[in-house]
Amino acid sequence: MRQYLELLKETRELEIIDEPITSREAVSLIKKTDEKNAVLIEKIGDYDFRLVSNILTKRKYLRLALNVKNDAEAYKKLIEASENPQPLKLVEKPYMKSLQKKLAALPALKFYSKDGGPYITTGIFIAKDPDTNVQNASIHRLMIIDESTAAARIVPRHLYAILKKYGERGEDAPIAIVIGADPACYIAAVHSPPYGVDELQVANAIKNGKIFAYKDPDTGLVIPASAEVVIKGKITLKELLEEGPFVDITGTYDVVRKQPKLTVEKVEAKPDAIFYQILPAGAEHRLLMGFPREAAIWRGVSQVVPRVHGVRLTKGGCGWLHAVISISKQKEGDAKNAILAALAAHPSLKLAIVVDEDINIDNLHEIEWALATRMQPDKDIIIISGARGSSLDPSADQKNLITAKWGIDATMPLGKERSHFLRA
């Protein structure tokens, strides 16, 4: 992360705040600089930490972290790394100071007025399958209850499956939560490759084998050596705590749920640690969550149409629920196949709009123009009822995850003269 921050500094994309500010002022500053620049706060309140945010708010930041030139290269790099993970080279554990106050020593922020408490939004949860010893790394929000207790929002995916295995043995799962790792670790951790693929090894493949790690003596887990902060403890499904409210990617308050309890045993940090936070529902939240899903859509659609020019999970669609896909259409039906492939590739997707290659998918005016001039609702709209959707959509059945989905073919019909649909 420090090397990456130096790159942002060189390109004048990092704003450094030298004067001490409060936690509340820090939240305001992060909000104001959202989509503008990264921000590094040298002193926050009484905490012995620097604080950084907004480091992945723009696509050019993401490409910088991945060392690629465009989105297509970024998608390919992530997919190839997932299929060819590289084991991390083990080194000695670096010096970390112990924080006796545990969670109380960390500058966790309360971002919105109705939040259930202060949150850590950048924790990479590392756990190991007790049967296979294969690690899993995934990002989960963490609501602090007291200095040694927190509630972790765990959806029923890979980490949940690991916790269930420990529960069946009558055990709590050892966990390490990493804050402030290489940005490649964050990109890999939100990617969700198949179960059994270690996301940290995916990150190592992205970085061409340059991510080093150590085997933690307390948990037995492999932890990135560059981590700024490491929280260690036990997590269980046997005891659930109320978690929330929390503003999720939609910008609305997520419902309060009973979530697994984390019992913290140790908190360690670098002597001059940088604490990383992501603004909920901000540009960084949308891009970090959405980019791996764009890669999945790009790959899925590429398998059913000859050429995909771009995929964009839109800002208005919360970087999660709506996608615009640009293709080269060769036959009628290509766009509808692309819609079905996109909805299958990203199960949380609610709307897929397919446009021709002359439409800029980052320009909402052009997308609307394509809808106005190239689409007939009775022929070009697909509606699917009763599909599995996202728990984040407040209009859906959030308990049973049931929603309706739709797709719009906004491509030029091949049966009419093409010149009639081109801008003068």
**Which residues are the active-site residues?**
248
154/156 Cα distance (integer angstroms) = 7
Residue in the block written with tokens 């709009």: 353
DSSP letters for 146-197: ETTEEEE---TTHHHHHHHHHHHTT-PEEEEEEES--HHHHHHHTT--STT-
373/222 Cα distance (integer angstroms) = 55
List b or e across 288-317, with b for residues whose CB sees 16 or more CB atoms inside 10 angstroms: bbbbbbbbbbbbbbbebbeebbbbbbbeeb
CB 279 within 8 A of CB 32: no
> What are the residues whose beta carbons fall under 8 Å from the beta carbon of 343, sequence distance 6 or more?
349, 352, 384, 387, 405, 407
284/365 Cα distance (integer angstroms) = 24
Identity of residue 133: N
Tell which phi-psi region holds residue 54, choosing left (phi > 0), alpha (psi between -120 and 50) or beta.
left
Question: How much is the CA Rg of the chain, to the nearest whole Å?
Answer: 22
CB 148 within 8 A of CB 166: no
> What are the residues whose beta carbons fall under 8 Å from the beta carbon of 89, sequence distance 6 or more?
209, 212, 213
280/277 Cα distance (integer angstroms) = 9
353/74 Cα distance (integer angstroms) = 22
385/250 Cα distance (integer angstroms) = 22
Tokens of 186: 């964050």
Backbone dihedral angles phi then psi of residue 8, each to the nearest 5 degrees: -65, -35
**Count of beta carbons in the 10 Å neighbourhood of residue 417:** 9
